[in-house]
């Protein structure tokens, strides 16, 4: 995955541009989950006085150390081997680079890592991945594989030419996360979704929009926040129907902590309260 991130030109170019525009000469920078260390080198190229590069994987750390020497960055980048959710930095920083993001913030460690490092930020510190919006929509999933129908969690990779999901509802923003502030990471929301196309509803699709420190926006790439399609028990829906989707999960807690429920939502009002009809849907 580290290599996949490195060769993803759209992802790397967007982050490089944001780093070069944000980091100022003399800045102290931290790069969390540094991997190959490419983001740390961009920060030095932008004029950073020092970069603390944090990585938990011992093998990556060894490779990174060798690359620092061969590329002339030794002494400018300080490699710290450790868990970024618990790491202690020796000084306050001006800029934070942290790309430990997965679609919907369901996996990876962005939230707990940022919650930890905020205590080491100077007032007005810049966060390269500043803010994220999460979206959900109801879809029909193409679950045909080699002559069999399989209910599996799917990612929509840009190189996969198969149509993995067809939207049946509008798209709804269900969460917005500001990484410059501490987040409890809890998601428990009810999302009203109107059916725009009749058909077999058998999945939900989660996507993201990321706002970077230079004001640019990053969507999905080959190695960043690919659209995530989750299967549910199939049900026929009709155009014009209203459904209520409830999403519950702990950000960065993994799929084991992800739950959803779905019910029909009538527009009929009784004593000022909407009447809801039960419609079971299990992930």
Structural tokens at position 69? 């020497």
Q: Are 97 and 27 in contact (CB under 8 A)?
A: no
Catalytic residue among 55, 108, 137, 241: 108
Q: What is the DSSP letter of 43?
A: H
The answer to whether 108 is a known catalytic residue is: yes
Separation of alpha carbons 245 and 262, rounded Å: 5
241 given a catalytic annotation: no
Tokens 């060798």 -> residue: 66
CB atoms within 10 A of CB 203: 26
Give the pair of three-digit tokens for residue 279: 């419609």
**Which residues, listed in sequence order, are joined to residue 77 by a DSSP beta bridge?**
51, 74
Spatial contact of 185 and 119, defined as CB atoms under 8 Å apart = no
Say which residues have a Cβ less than 8 Å from residue 192's Cβ, sequence separation at least 6.
172, 242, 243, 244, 245, 265
| CB 195, CB 167: distance < 8 Å | no
What SS3 class is residue 70?
helix
Structure tokens at 248: 């519950």
| Active-site hit among 99, 137, 266, 270 | 99
Q: Which residues are catalytic?
A: 99, 108
């Amino acid at each position: 995955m580290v290599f996949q991130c490195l060769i993803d030109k759209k992802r790397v170019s967007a982050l490089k541009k944001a780093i070069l525009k944000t980091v100022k000469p003399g800045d102290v920078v931290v790069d969390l989950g540094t991997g190959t260390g490419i983001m740390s080198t961009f920060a030095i190229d932008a004029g950073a006085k020092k970069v603390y590069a944090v990585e938990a994987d011992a093998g990556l750390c060894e490779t990174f150390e060798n690359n620092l020497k061969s590329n002339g960055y030794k002494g400018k980048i300080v490699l710290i081997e450790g868990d970024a959710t618990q790491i202690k930095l020796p000084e306050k920083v001006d800029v934070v680079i942290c790309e430990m993001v997965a679609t919907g913030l369901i996996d990876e460690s962005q939230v707990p890592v940022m919650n930890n490092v905020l205590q080491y930020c100077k007032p007005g510190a810049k966060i390269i991945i500043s803010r994220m919006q999460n979206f959900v929509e109801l879809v029909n999933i193409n679950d045909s594989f080699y002559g069999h129908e399989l209910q599996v969690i799917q990612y929509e990779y840009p190189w996969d030419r198969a149509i993995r999901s067809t939207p049946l509802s509008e798209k709804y923003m269900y969460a917005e996360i500001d990484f410059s502030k501490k987040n409890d990471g809890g998601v428990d929301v009810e999302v009203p979704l109107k059916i725009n196309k009749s058909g077999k509803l058998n999945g939900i699709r989660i996507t993201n929009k990321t706002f970077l420190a230079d004001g640019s926006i990053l969507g999905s790439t080959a190695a960043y926040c690919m659209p995530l399609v989750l299967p549910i028990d199939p049900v026929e829906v009709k155009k014009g129907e209203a459904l209520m989707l409830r999403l519950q999960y702990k950000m960065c807690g993994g799929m084991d902590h992800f739950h959803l429920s779905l019910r029909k939502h009538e527009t009929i009002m009784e004593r000022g309260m909407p009447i809801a009809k039960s419609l079971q849907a299990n992930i």
